[in-house]
Structure 1
Amino acid sequence: MHLPAGVVDVTALIEVVRISALPVGQGAPYPGAVVAHWAGSEATDALASIESLPGSEQHRCGFSPGWGLRAYDDSLGLALFEAAFCFRCHEIRMHGPAVPPASATQFFDADAPQAQALLRLFRASAARG
């Protein structure tokens, strides 16, 4: 998966979101409960894990993401980007000021070990919250 250029180096905080619905409009945040905050090496490791996701072809499910994240720089202002993960259709949708249009929709192999490790990380974060 391709994250927006330069975001790994400037991300100071990640919010992990248990997505409850689709956004109300294009570019709006995905609604849901923030179940964890990752900072420092935890944030860096998570972004590296996401970048390691192998690509895949699209699977049809209608895009029903269960997990998402929002990445912030030190200012903790507007999110650099938000990513929503659908492990059924193998799709990731991203938006935010750091996201070029060509990267807004990507497909990943949700059955790959890296993806399953990321899913376990999401679930473990929610269980701790």
Structure 2
Amino acid sequence: MIKGLPGGEQHRCGFSPGWSIRAYTDTLDLALFQGAFCFSCHEVRMHGTAVPPALATQFFDAGAPQARTLLALSREAAP
């Protein structure tokens, strides 16, 4: 779902991510990647062993169906 997020334009909000996702190998030692999503400025910041520097900061269309689904799933998973 994350890979299918359409690109978007940068908006200014000061980057205040409300949600993040981590992916691990089978050993759970180091995260392959973590993506912190800010649905206000439409920015995702990625870091981890599987993230090339060129992909560390990206912008997405927060109104796209994939983004709305990701936000809904994140809200459902929140305690």
Give me the TM-score of the superposition, normalised by structure 1. 0.60
RMSD between aligned residues: 0.8
Instruction: Say which SS state the counterpart of residue 34 (structure 2) adopts.
Output: strand
The answer to whether structure 1 residue 82 and structure 2 residue 67 are counterparts is: no
Residue of structure 2 equivalent to 1:72 = 24
Q: Comparing both structures, which one devotes a greater share of its residues to helix?
A: 1
Instruction: Say which SS state the counterpart of residue 72 (structure 2) adopts.
Output: helix
- 5+ residue gaps in structure 2? none
Q: 1:88-103 counterparts in 2 under 5 A?
A: 88-103=40-55
- 5+ residue gaps in structure 1? 1-48
Residue of structure 2 equivalent to 1:51 = 3
Residue of structure 2 equivalent to 1:20 = none
Residue of structure 2 equivalent to 1:17 = none
CA distance in 2, matches of 1:82, 1:112: 21
Give me the TM-score of the superposition, normalised by structure 2. 0.95
Number of residues paired by the alignment? 79
Which one has a bigger Cα radius of gyration? 1
Task: Calculate percent identity across the aligned residue pairs.
Answer: 71
CA distance in 1, matches of 2:73, 2:55: 23
